[in-house]
Amino acid sequence: MFQSAVVPLFGSFIHVVTGTSYPTYFPTYIEEELTPPQQQLISILHIGDSYSSGNGFDVDESGWYGPKWCFRNHNSWGEQAVRIVNAGIPTVDISYHNHACCDAKIEHITQDKVTIAKCGHNDGDSDPQYTRKYAGWSFLDGRTCEHRMDPQIDNVNESIDIVLLTIGGNDSGFVEIIKSCFIPFLSVFGQNDCEEVIDRARGYVHGYYESELINVVTMITSRMKAGSKLILHAYPLIATDRETEDNILVRGITQAAIEVQIKAIEYLNSLGREVDIILFTDHVNEFENHNAETCSSCYNPNGWLNEISESGISLEKDELAQLYHPNEEGHKNWAISFADKLGSIVYEMIEVSEPSNSTLI
C-alpha cells in the first residue's frame, strides 16, 4: 500500500519554529506516492556552561527548567537548532537533552558542582542528578543549602551521537570580566578594573586553557562511540569593535581563546581518534555588529546580548546571571547559524535511501 511521503532533494526553504521564520539550507521535500521511510534516531547531548544552558533568553524563571541556578531554557540556541533540523529532515528523529549549567567550569564536567545558596531558591528536585542539604545561615540569604549537581560527564555514553559544548569562559573569569569591563560602577564596591581582570584571564588562556580543554575533551570522547561527533562552540565576541580600551581588551581575550580552541582541536584530531571533534565558529561572525557596549550607560540597539542599560534587569542574582548572554534574538540567530552545520552533519550520519520514482524540482 503506497502512502503519501516526502522525497529529500537539496534546496532552500523556510521553517516556522516557535512562531519565528528561520531561513536555512536543507533538503527540500515534495509530495510523492511512496512508502514512507522509517525515521532514524539521533541523540544529542548538550553540556557545558551558561552559554549552553540557555541563559539570557528569559530574564525571569518563567522559561527555566531543571535546577533554577542552571537556567536551562527550552529556547536555547541548541534546542532551537535541533527543532529546525527535525523539521527539515523528516527521515530523522533527533532527541535533545541539556545538562549544561550556569557557572560551570571545566572541572564540573568531570566533578560535582556545588553551590551554597538560599534553600528553596535553587531547587531542582525533579532532576535525579541534583541533591540538596542544609548548610547553615547567611545574613543575606537566611537559611542556606548546599546544592549539588553530579558531573556532567555522567550523561555521556555510547548512545550519544553528538555532544554540544561550550566551556572555559568561567575558568577565565567571565563574571569578573563582565563586572569590571561592562558594569564599571561596581568598582566602587572593590571590583578590579577591566585591565586587571583581562590580565588574569590572559594568564589562564595562554597558560592552562589548551591543556585543560584537551584533557576534558579526551575524557568526554573516550565515552563516545566510533563515528560520533563532539562540537565545541566558540564564544561570540561580547564587545563591539568600537575603539575603546575596554572593548579592545574584551575582544582580544575572546579571540585568544578561540585561537587556543583551534590548536587544541587540531591536536586532538591529529591523533586519529574515532570521534570527530569540530570547532564551530560561524556564529562569531554573525554576532558582529550585534555585540554589547562596555559602558554601563549605553547599549547597542541592534544587540543580541542582554545589556544592563537597556534590559531593565535588576541587581537580583537571578537577573544578573542573564546579563551579557544572548537575548531572544541572539539565541535565535545562533540557532539559525548552527542549524545548517548540524543539518549537514545529521544528514551524513543517517542512511537516506533515494526513491526510484522521485521527482526533481
Within-domain flag for 171: yes
pLDDT in tens, 75-101: 999 999 999 999 999 889 999 999 999
Q: Which of 121, 171, 173 is nearest to 147 (CA)?
A: 121
Within-domain flag for 86: yes
Within-domain flag for 270: yes
Question: Is residue 125 pLDDT above 90, yes or no?
Answer: no
Cell numbers placing 262:
583551534
- Return the sign of the alpha-carbon dihedral for residues 292, 177, 106, 255: positive
DSSP letter for each residue of 178-219: IIIII-GGGGGGTPPPHHHHHHHHHHHIIIIIHHHHHHHHHH
Cell 522559561 belongs to 63
Q: Whole-number mean pLDDT of the chain?
A: 82
- Rounded Cα distance between 92 and 42, Å, is 7
Q: Are residues 182 and 138 in the same domain?
A: no
Contact 210, 172 (CB under 8 A): no
Within-domain flag for 21: no
Crossing angle of helices 77-88 and 328-349, in 10° steps, is 50
Which residue has better confidence, 199 or 298?
Answer: 199
Q: Are residues 201 and 278 in the same domain?
A: yes
Cell numbers placing 325:
548572554
Q: Are residues 172 and 298 in the same domain?
A: yes
Cell numbers placing 61:
524563571
Q: What is the DSSP letter of 315?
A: S
Contact 206, 254 (CB under 8 A): no
Q: What is the DSSP letter of 293?
A: -
Please report which confidence band the pLDDT of residue 248 belongs to, taking 50, 70 and 90 as the band edges: very high
Question: Is residue 24 pLDDT above 60, yes or no?
Answer: no
Which residue has better confidence, 13 or 270?
Answer: 270
Cell numbers placing 357:
520514482
Q: How far is CA 288 from CA 171, 236, 292, 300, 323, in A?
A: 24, 8, 10, 11, 18
Give 132's contacts (C-beta < 8 A, 6+ positions apart).
119, 122, 123, 124, 125, 145, 146, 147, 148
pLDDT in tens, 346-357: 999 986 334 333
Q: What is the pLDDT of residue 61?
A: 63
Contact 269, 324 (CB under 8 A): no
Question: Is residue 26 pLDDT above 90, yes or no?
Answer: no
Cell 583551534 belongs to 262
- How many folded domains does the chain comprise? 2
pLDDT in tens, 134-163: 778 777 667 888 778 899 999 999 999 999
Could you tell me the pTM of the whole model?
A: 0.84
Q: Out of 98-107, 177-186, 230-239, which region has the weakest mean confidence (pLDDT)?
A: 177-186
pLDDT in tens, 6-20: 334 333 333 434 444
Question: Largest Cα–Cα distance of the chain, in whole Å?
Answer: 75
Q: Are residues 179 and 299 in the same domain?
A: yes
Q: Are residues 137 and 244 in the same domain?
A: no
Q: Out of 25-34, 74-83, 334-343, which region has the weakest mean confidence (pLDDT)?
A: 25-34
Q: Are residues 324 and 279 in the same domain?
A: yes
Q: Which amino acid is at 204?
A: Y
Give the start-end residues of each E strand in the chain: 3-17, 20-34, 40-48, 64-65, 72-73, 92-98, 113-118, 130-138, 142-149, 162-166, 229-233, 276-280
Contact 294, 250 (CB under 8 A): yes
Q: Are residues 42 and 162 in the same domain?
A: yes
Q: Are residues 132 and 250 in the same domain?
A: no
317: three-class secondary structure by DSSP: helix
- Rounded Cα distance between 77 and 133, Å, is 33
Q: Are residues 119 and 235 in the same domain?
A: no
Contact 305, 325 (CB under 8 A): yes
Within-domain flag for 247: yes
Within-domain flag for 24: no
Q: Are residues 299 and 243 in the same domain?
A: yes
Please report which confidence band the pLDDT of residue 129 belongs to, taking 50, 70 and 90 as the band edges: confident
For residue 316, give its domain range.
36-110+156-349
Q: What is the dihedral of CA 50, 54, 56, 62, to 10 degrees?
A: -130
Within-domain flag for 331: yes
Q: What is the pLDDT of residue 62?
A: 66
Please identify, among 122, 150, 178, the residue that sits at the C-terminal boundary of a domain.
150
Contact 251, 237 (CB under 8 A): yes
Q: Are residues 246 and 104 in the same domain?
A: yes
Contact 34, 357 (CB under 8 A): yes
Within-domain flag for 208: yes
298: domain CATH number is 3.40.50.1110
pLDDT in tens, 32-87: 444 556 779 999 999 999 999 999 887 666 677 888 778 899 999 999 999 999 99
Question: Is residue 361 pLDDT above 60, yes or no?
Answer: no
Q: What is the pLDDT of residue 140?
A: 67
pLDDT in tens, 287-331: 999 999 887 678 899 999 988 865 555 555 566 778 899 999 999
